[in-house]
Amino acid sequence: MANFKVQEVLKNLNKNNFKAKYFSNVQEAKTAVLNEIAPNQSIGIGGSMTIYDMALHKELQDRGHKIYWHWLADPSERNEVRTKAADADVYLCSSNAVTVDGTLVNIDGIGNRVSSMFFGPKKVIIVCGINKITQDFEQAVDRIKTIVCPANAKRLKLNTPCAKTGKCHDCYTEERMCNITVKIERAPAGREIHIFLVDESLGF
Ligand code: SF4
């Protein structure tokens, strides 16, 4: 049973036209994601440790889906793969933060992930651990700058100050990953945005 705060988040996400559901564990969420995807649908995937750790790409490959994920591509082909992912039938990713009032907050370096969340694929499935819940937009940005970006910068061995110190220095480096901040307040018309909120800590 979801706790009071999670129930409030779910209620507000649904009020904002997202299709939000609660899952008590990641295995249940994984089964639900696979059930949402029809045979022959192509899949785009945004950069996401949650999706990677769930190994959803492997299950989908085994089922014969065409997968477009730049994480699996040769560096010289990554931009082309990002473009194809944005044109796929279904897009899978997570969200850097979900606010209690039911919005999604994300920061991107290139923008392929955030833009595909609201324009491009008609169906988007976002899998999100409850560790991503924040009270409001300000707390969401703070979470991203103090937890998500430093962890990702370290993982990717980027030459940014946060990779070395674990803190945001609002840098001007070439490899800065905080270039685009997006708050999705309501699911746009004609777009099916599913949010599977999992009662576990997933990703960063
Ligand atoms: S602005 Fe620079 S230092 Fe701050 S989190 Fe982003 S990449 Fe790291």
For position 192, which CATH number holds? Answer: 3.40.50.10420
Find the DSSP H helices in the chain. Answer: 4-15, 26-36, 49-54, 56-62, 78-85, 112-118, 137-143, 149-155, 161-165
Give the count of domains, the chain: 1
**Which residue, by CA, sits nearest to atom 4 of ligand 1?**
168
Tokens encoding 125: 């499935």
**Which residue, by CA, sits nearest to atom 8 of ligand 1?**
162
| 43, part of any domain | yes
Q: CB–CB of 52/152 below 8 Å?
A: no
**Ligand 1, pocket-test mutation among 110, 169, 172, most atoms within 8 A of CB:** 169
| 203, part of any domain | no
pLDDT for residue 1: 57
Q: Kindly give the parts of the chain with pLDDT less than 70.
A: 1-2
**Which residue, by CA, sits nearest to atom 1 of ligand 1?**
170
Tokens encoding 1: 């049973």
Q: CB–CB of 96/49 below 8 Å?
A: no
| Its pTM surpasses 0.85 | yes
| 204, part of any domain | no
| 99, part of any domain | yes
pLDDT for residue 4: 76
**Which residue, by CA, sits nearest to atom 7 of ligand 1?**
176
C-alpha 1, offset from chain centre: 24
> From CA 40, how far away is CA 105, in angstroms rounded?
31
Which residues sit with their C-beta closer than 6 Å to ligand 1?
145, 149, 153, 160-162, 168-171, 176-178
Q: Over the stretch 171-180, which tens digit does the pLDDT of each residue have?
A: 999 999 999 9
One-letter amino acid at 174 equals: E
Give the strand pairing for 97-99 and 104-108: antiparallel
| 102, part of any domain | yes
**Ligand 1, pocket-test mutation among 146, 173, 177, most atoms within 8 A of CB:** 177
Which residues contact residue 30 at a Cβ distance below 8 angstroms, ignoring those fewer than 6 apart? 54, 56, 59
Whole domain around residue 102: which residue ranges? 4-198
| 121, part of any domain | yes
pLDDT for residue 133: 97
